[in-house]
Each structure stands twice: as structure tokens, then as C-alpha cells.
Structure 1
Amino acid sequence: MAQKPPPRIAILGFSIECNAFAPPATRADFESCVWLERDAIIADARCATPIALGEVPGFVAAMDATGPWQPVPILLAMAEPNGPVEEETFAEMMRIWRKGLERAAPLDAVYACMHGAGLSTERTDPDGDMLAMVREVVGPHVPLVATFDLHANISEAMVQSVDVFVGYRTNPHLDMWQRGEEAAGHVRALLRGAKTTRTFIRLPIIPPTVTMLTGKDATDRPYGEMIDLGQRRIADPDCVGRILNVSVMGGFAYSDTPKNGLAVVVTARKGDEATGEALAEEIATLGWSNRKRFRAKLTALDEATAMATAVGDDPSKPALCFPDVADNPGGGGRGNTMWILEAFHQAGVQGCLVGIIYDPPLAAAAHAAGVGARIEARFNTAETNAFSKPFAAPATVRALSDGRVTGRRGIFAGRDMRLGPSAALDLGGITVVVVSYRTQCADPAFFEMFGLDIGAARSVVVKSRGHFRGGFDEFFSNDRIIEVDAPGLTSPILSRFEWKRLPRPVIPLDEGVKWSPKQLRR
């Protein structure tokens, strides 16, 4: 008897978090981050320091470990959070994915590495469009498993197209590899004949980003409590074997789409629909009971400045971390607003590190001047964004780097990072790290590559919303993290934006919002 050939598994991905208020993303934004086609996807996944985030490496490693298989990689496109993707670029991706799937037929299964908060300049649901296209090409019976960032905005098309829906469980995102491994396990189960059903409930809640922490040590974690409940229930005897996955998706407000809203997706085995529906409703009901807790609580800039001044003047006080949550490149922020830096500099704050500021012209000027040179550090000379105002101060070029660094902790751990020509500038009491590739300051390595000692700093300002917590937790406990209220494209104060497409009424923007467990079941 001829031996059955190994299953042919297609791998493809589209991962970008799109802020409707930020400049459009181009193909160059993907190429500078991750644009991998065919065998390059597998080569990157199997290398020690991949450029891709962890889901695909985790998926490939788990498939390799669980039996023979034949990967059929097509296109993996990932970019830093940005504005809507130019439609021409997304249309090109769709052509590559479609042609690759058609060329690879017949396939035994498909794995899609998604984010779920994408936009194009012409579409509000490119993620759903892409998955629907995959389903159309491969047909109704080929297993399709997809992983999603927990900031995904969920549409009916996204849920209906897949067999198993797998969302991150941790924020900061420290479980990407594990979710890729989980996806591989579901692919293997579906290949053995498992059939599934999905329950989808969306709540009229748009959680501000700072209310979506999941760590047990978070001060307030209404979102984390929903995830905890789902994971407890999936381990209950009544659910074991019946429920394959529970995903609670917080969403990404700044996409400003009709599909925004805190969502629950439960994947159950075929025949166990009632169990999946009951569990989804229980989790959604908990989220609704927590609705008043989904409101941002930030520290005013003048108060934060006074705190930084105090710890700089008194070494006996615990050092503090000041995340600039409103200018988070991990949410489409430009990574170059000056409000905190300027306030701290004017106040004479001492012992402070600030990073990372995206400013290629300033980084180039520092490299041209050389280490030890005195320069006038002119920030944002080439920036036209309304929030990115110019600021200038005398500075000494303390250190230079080509920006090549391997992530050490948190979301970027083990990842090959390329920040472009970079510099550490001493402004007198404040040392600023300037880079040429926009990304959030989520890893201590971005300071350490210049020899800067985070443990010796009295205060640290990071351009990040929450992922820095997974990298800087060895330096700062939650009670020493001060989320600062300043202007920016990712301000958690949602009333400051002019929304065009959000479903209304919605918490926390509107009063008198009503909901019942049966109301929004999909």
C-alpha cells in the first residue's frame, strides 16, 4: 500500500494595526519590516533570530515537531502600526495570495497569520476580505485556522471564514509563539476529522488601550478578567473536549470602523454549539458588568514633570517610568512628539533616559558630527504631522549605532531588529535615543545597545502604550509606572478624536448605552 503523502499546508499572513488618523502605509513600510514570499517564510521561521513576530515561527516549530508535513508558503506581510494600507499595495497582496493558493491546489489545510485591525484606503475590513478570498479559493472543506492580535476588530467575515479562531491572551503580547503552536495543534486536529462551530458576540464597548492589560499585577484589569474567565471555563469538565478555543478581543479604537467593539469568539466542536454559545454569553456578560471600568485614567503632564524632577533630585526615591501612551508607534503614533521631552528639559529633570524618538534627519546629523561632538539637536525638522512640533536643544553625541540589535525581552525577545542609523544624545541631565526606523520602545536593548544603564536612571520615558511592560518589568513594577496624558495620535482619551465610522452609541463615548446578552450574538 502506498504511503499517504504528508499534508500540504499553506502559510500566508497579513499583519498590520491601522490607525485611521495616521498617514497611509505603503509597500515600503512592509518591505522595511516583513515582506517574505515562498521559501523565505520558512527559512525565517526556522532561524534563531527571525524578523517575523512569533506566530509563524511557533506554528512551523509545532508542525515540525508533530509529524510530517509539506509547508506551502505564499506571502507573509507585516508592518509597524500605521495608517490605512494603500489600496494598490493591498490589492497586490491579494493577487499574490490568490495566485499562490490556486497554484498550490490541492491543499490539505491553510494557516493564516493575521492581526485583525487592518484598513486600506478603500476598505474597512481587509482582514475579512482576505480570509473570505482564501475560503473561496480553497473551498468549504479545507481546514483554515487563523491567529489574531487581541487588538483585532472582529467582523462576521473573519469569524465565518475560519474553522478555528485563535486570539492572543496576553497584553503585553508575550504569547505569540504559543498561539502559533496552538494553531498547529488545531490544524492537526482538523486534519484528523474534527469539525467546528463559532459563536461571536460584540459588545458596545470600545476599550481605551490602557484599560486592556492582562497581567495579574495590573492595578485594574477588567479585560484581563474576561480572558481569565474564558480560560478557567475551557478547563472545566463540562467544556473539555467541547470547546477548542476562547478568544476575547479588545479591539483597536483608532481604526474607526463599523466592526469596532469588545468581542468574544468561542470555537466549539460541531454538535456543541449550545456550550459555546452559553460560554460566550457568560464572558460577554462579565464584560458588560465591568463597563464602567473601561475608562482611561492618566497623569497630567505637569504632575508627571514634578514627579520626574523629584526622583531626579532625590536618589533615595524609587525611579519611575513614564510611558508616552498618546504617541505610541505600536498604535500608529509617529514616535516623535515633544511634549514630555520639552517639559522635562525645561524643568531641568536629571538622570533621565528618553526613547525611542523617530527622527532620521537628526540621527543622520549625529552620525555626521561623530561621537563627542556638540550639536544643536533639532527635532522634527522634516515632520508635518500636527502633533510632531519642532524642538531644539544643545546636545552632545554620546554614542552611535547602526541600529542592528537582537531583542532581549518582551514582545521583541529574540527578534532581529533594525532601527537604522541611531544615536544617543546627551541634552544635559536627559539622554535621548534617536532612531531612523519607527517602532515602539518596548525592549531595554534599545537603550542598552548604547551602553546606557537603565537601572541607574532616575526616570525613563518610553514611546509605548503597554508592550514596554513586558520588557522593562525587571526595572519597574506597576506602581512605578506613570501613564502620562499628552497629545498624540494614540491618546487613550477617545473623546479627543472625530469619529466617523464607530458604531454608536458606545462606551465610553456615549451615555445611556444599553445591551443584553442576546442582542449582538452572531
Structure 2
Amino acid sequence: MMTAAPESGNRTPRIAIGGFMLESNGHAPVSTREEFAANVLIEGDGLLADLASANPRSPTTLTGFAAAMDKTGTWERIPLIMAAVGASGPVDQAFFDWVVERLRTRLLAAGPLDGVFLSQHGAATATGDVDPDATIFRAVRAVVGPDVPIVATLDLHANVSLAMVAAADVLVAYRCNPHTDMPDRGADCAHHLRAMLGGLRPASAFVKLPFIPPSTSQNTKSGPYADVIAYGQSKVADGVIDVSVSSGFTLGDTPKNGMSVIVTATTQEKATVVARDVASYAWSQRSRFVTSLTALDEATAMALACGKDAGRPALLFADVADNPGGGGRGNTPYILAAFHAAGVTGCALGPVYDPELAVEAQQLGVGASFEARFNRSETTTFSGPFTAAGKVMALSNGVFVGRRGMAAGRTLDMGPAALIAVGGIQVVVTTNRHQALDPMFFESLGVDLSGLRSLVVKSRGHFRAAFDDLFSDDRIVEVDVPGLTTPVSQNVPWRNLLRPIYPLDPDLEWSPA
């Protein structure tokens, strides 16, 4: 165990930064080192260089924390490791163990520290470890000791455990879905850390609700979740420092599943009282969290009508059950096959994860006509084959800077990508798996979004912050098809979920006491 840096009112505080971000779908293929490397896997000086770049790859929680620390005083950055990937399956245990060891090694080499900031997701599982986020917090605590503050951000969908709360000093969850507030929550952590450097010693209380709300009813622009979060924020006063309400990532299928309330306050009594109050309110709103999806044949008819009648408003169709942001493969063919068979025109769809098809299109070149075979080697459940006459319309190396929403200003990498026309549908095909976070997934390949009659996105909800200038909420259709990220909890093959839990057990009685 290292010792804390010596007290000095004039000394520049030494703050270690890093993190591990993965949302694990318990039914998706294992998340590998290669998948992280294709997204964010940076350590040491490379992390500092990335944070200093105009368009970093690092999560905006980390850049938001750094910016707020810069504004509130001097500090010395001590870079650890930042490993982040979009939602996938449980992380390969050997790779996760390597990440923890790199984190520990860099902490030990850093010498005395004044604080640690970690950008976490909070819903990871590993092929062996059921609570990797707690493992990371405990590893850090074991090195820095009990007196060095550990603050961290969590995703709004974190599956929080008591072990996570116990090992950290302050955990701050996002409050917006789509997560456009990630920089702000990083900044919150910076302010809390500055207060702790000034002598604050906060207390935390934690309540886990036996409640798994459907993913499609967790938007925070309006609705039940917006009301729950607003209620929690109304309690931030008079010694209450932070109230975080994490809906949880249901498809993690772990014993940690369920909505969580974390309250940080100046006293334990105050934190406990507020945590129970907010949890009680959230539980009282549970019946408002409902799923309302549109059948595929109805959605197909709507898209067909849009293509035939330019006077109709264009529509966006969300493939919520195949969301790469929730561990979906981003390649199920249900909507594509139905739209193609019906003769839908003026449509774009994507991004579709199909490395083999993307490579073939790159080899054939722009203008080539060929038999486009989707998912020729994919074996994951729901990712069946689809074949149609195709034409390569555009190609790119897949690297772009996000323009709107959660990805604005960040560098993203689709890998070698292609725009392939199959009938009246333009399909964005990628080598790396992503959800439709930004218009540039389409625009970087020449798609004119304003000229479309329909757009199909592989995403559950984060697309709403990227395409809201073109598609208002009343022009968004959430389609009911099978997939690894279905929001219909009755359709999930649960293995590790603790019962009873609402809404699977609708008559469940519960109170936070």
C-alpha cells in the first residue's frame, strides 16, 4: 500500500486518471482485447496525448473531469490505463486481469497520490468475475490506502453493487439518456474531489430495487425515468452532495440487476434517509415503465408508404432489439429483409456489422454490382443470413469525427466501411461494431439524410440525440423484432437474474427498509 502525498497547502495535487468501460450483455459473445483495441485501449503518455488532442477517443467523462480540474486549480495528471468499448458480452477474464494488473502497476509506480478518478461504466461482467467494476475499485483502494479519495463516474445503466459503493468515496451516474451529460458528470467528480482535497469526508448510502425497467422507457427527456431523476435531484441540498439513480442494464443478466440509488452526503444519516426516500419514489412509479413496440409488418407498411408518397413525413425506425450499444451484434436481418421484400425505397439502414462483406466491397470497388451475402459466417443467435443483389455505392476507411449528440467532437472508427445498395435501401456496412450514435455513420459515406424517406438505425435510444434535428419523437418508430437487446423482459432467457423482480413478478411487494 502506498502512502498518501504529504499535506501541503501550496503543493500541486497528484491525481491518477483512467478507467474501464464495458456494458456486458450476458447473452452476447465474449468481449476480447481486439475489440477494446479497436475502440479505446490507451495507457501512460498515450492517454495524456489523447486527452490533449482536438478530437480524443477517450470517453467524455474523462475529458470533462480534466477540463473541470484545469478550471479549478493546478494539478498533476498521473495517467493509468483507459480501456473502453461499446456494449458487448462478458469480457475475457485473461484480458480483464491484464487491465487490472496494468492499473495496479501504474499506481504503484506513480508514488504518493492525492486522488484517483476513474471513468467506469458499471455494468461489466467477465467470463469469471461477476463484478469487475468492484474488482477495479478494490484493486485501486488496496494500492492507495483508505485516505486517498477515489471518485468515479458510472453509466446511467450501471448494475451497481454494494462492493462498488464500499470501495469508492463518490460515485456519480449520468442523468441523461441519451448520455449527453457525460462531460458534466466528469466535471461533478472533479468538484467533489476538490472538496475532498479541502477536507470533505463524504458518506454514501445505497439501495437496490428489485426492478428491471424496459430499456425503451428509460429516456430522460420526459416520462417516468425523467421524473424519478428529477425527484432525486430535488434532494441535492442541505448536505446532500449527489443523488444518482441508475436504471441498471437488465440484459447483463447478473445478480446485480436492478435499479439502484446512491446518495452521497455529509453525514451517513442524511445519505440513508434520502436514499430510501428516492428509492421509495422510484418504486411507486414502476407501473409507468412500459414497452410499446410496433410490429414488423406494420413498420414495413409505414416505410413503404413513405417511399411512395413524398408528402408524408419521413420516419426513423429503431431496431431496438439489435442495439450494439446494448451488446447486440448489429447485424440481424429482420427489418432489412422485410423492407427489401416489400420494395421499400428511399431508405438507409445501418450501421450493419459485417467485416467480411465490408472487405469484399472494398476489394470490388465503387460501382461494382455483386451478390451481397450478409452474415455468411455469423453464428450468433438471431444473426441469420440475408442475400440480395447489391451495388457498392461508396467506400471509406471508417474514421470520422462525430458531429452531433453523444459522439460530437470525438473520433470514432467504423473500420473499413462500405455503402451498399440493395434495391431501394442503402446499407452502411462496417468492420467495427457500433450503434448509430451520430449522423456521420451515414454522412461519411455520402448519404443525404435530409433526402431520405425512411431511416433504420441499429440503436436503442442514443440515436435520439444525433438525429433529433431531422426526426422528432412523433416520427420515431420502435420496431418489435427478435434480438439480443430486446426490451421485452419476458422474451429474455434469464440465467442469473435474482427473483422475485418486477415486472416479471408483477405482484411483488417491496420497501427500502
1:404 match: 399
Q: CA deviation at 1:150?
A: 0.7
1:294–1:508 contact (8 Å) kept in structure 2: no
After TM superposition, the structure 1 stretch with the greater mean CA deviation from structure 2, 433-442 or 288-297, is 288-297
- Work out which of the residue numbers 176, 190, 197 in structure 1 matches 2:182: 176
Letter of the 1:438 counterpart:
R
Name the CA distance, whole Å, in 2 between partners of 1:379 and 1:19: 23
- Work out which of the residue numbers 143, 155, 167 in structure 2 matches 1:137: 143
Q: Summarize deviations over 1:55-93 as a string: whole Å, max 9, x none.
A: 111111111222111111111111121111111111111
2:231 match: 229
Confirm or deny that 1:65 pairs with 2:71: yes
1:334–1:438 contact (8 Å) kept in structure 2: yes
Following superposition of structure 1 onto structure 2, how do residues 336-415 of structure 1 map, counting pairs within 5 Å? 336-415=331-410
- Work out which of the residue numbers 255, 273, 281 in structure 1 matches 2:276: 281
Matched residue SS, 1:376: strand
- Work out which of the residue numbers 164, 171, 177 in structure 2 matches 1:158: 164
Q: CA deviation at 1:276?
A: 2.4
Matched residue SS, 1:90: helix
1:128–1:157 contact (8 Å) kept in structure 2: yes
2:177–2:462 contact (8 Å) kept in structure 1: yes
2:252 match: 255
RMSD: 1.2
1:295–1:508 contact (8 Å) kept in structure 2: no
Q: Structure 2 regions of 5+ residues with no counterpart?
A: 1-7
Matched residue SS, 2:234: helix
Name the CA distance, whole Å, in 1 between partners of 2:445 and 2:135: 44
Following superposition of structure 1 onto structure 2, how do residues 165-314 of structure 1 map, counting pairs within 5 Å? 165-216=171-222, 221-234=223-236, 239-240=237-238, 242-269=239-266, 271=267, 273-314=268-309
TM-score normalised by structure 1 residue count:
0.95
Following superposition of structure 1 onto structure 2, how do residues 349-498 of structure 1 map, counting pairs within 5 Å? 349-498=344-493
Name the CA distance, whole Å, in 2 between partners of 1:62 and 1:46: 14
2:92 match: 86
Structure 1 stretches of 4+ moved >2 Å = 2-5, 273-279
Q: Summarize deviations over 1:382-433 as a string: whole Å, max 9, x none.
A: 2111211110111121111111111101111111111111111112211111
After TM superposition, the structure 1 stretch with the greater mean CA deviation from structure 2, 93-102 or 162-171, is 93-102
Q: CA deviation at 1:3?
A: 7.7
Name the CA distance, whole Å, in 1 between partners of 2:372 and 2:191: 52
1:419–1:437 contact (8 Å) kept in structure 2: yes
Q: Summarize deviations over 1:330-371 as a string: whole Å, max 9, x none.
A: 011000000000000001111111111111111111112211
2:235–2:243 contact (8 Å) kept in structure 1: no
After TM superposition, the structure 1 stretch with the greater mean CA deviation from structure 2, 323-332 or 67-76, is 67-76
Q: Structure 1 regions of 5+ residues with no counterpart?
A: none
- Work out which of the residue numbers 327, 330, 334 in structure 2 matches 1:332: 327
Confirm or deny that 1:51 pairs with 2:46: no
2:33–2:95 contact (8 Å) kept in structure 1: yes
1:108–1:143 contact (8 Å) kept in structure 2: yes
Q: Summarize deviations over 1:118-162 as a string: whole Å, max 9, x none.
A: 011001101011101211221111111010001100101111111
Letter of the 2:122 counterpart:
G
1:37 match: 43
1:42–1:60 contact (8 Å) kept in structure 2: no
* Number of residue equivalences: 506
2:19 match: 13
1:46–1:60 contact (8 Å) kept in structure 2: no
Name the CA distance, whole Å, in 2 between partners of 1:59 and 1:160: 22
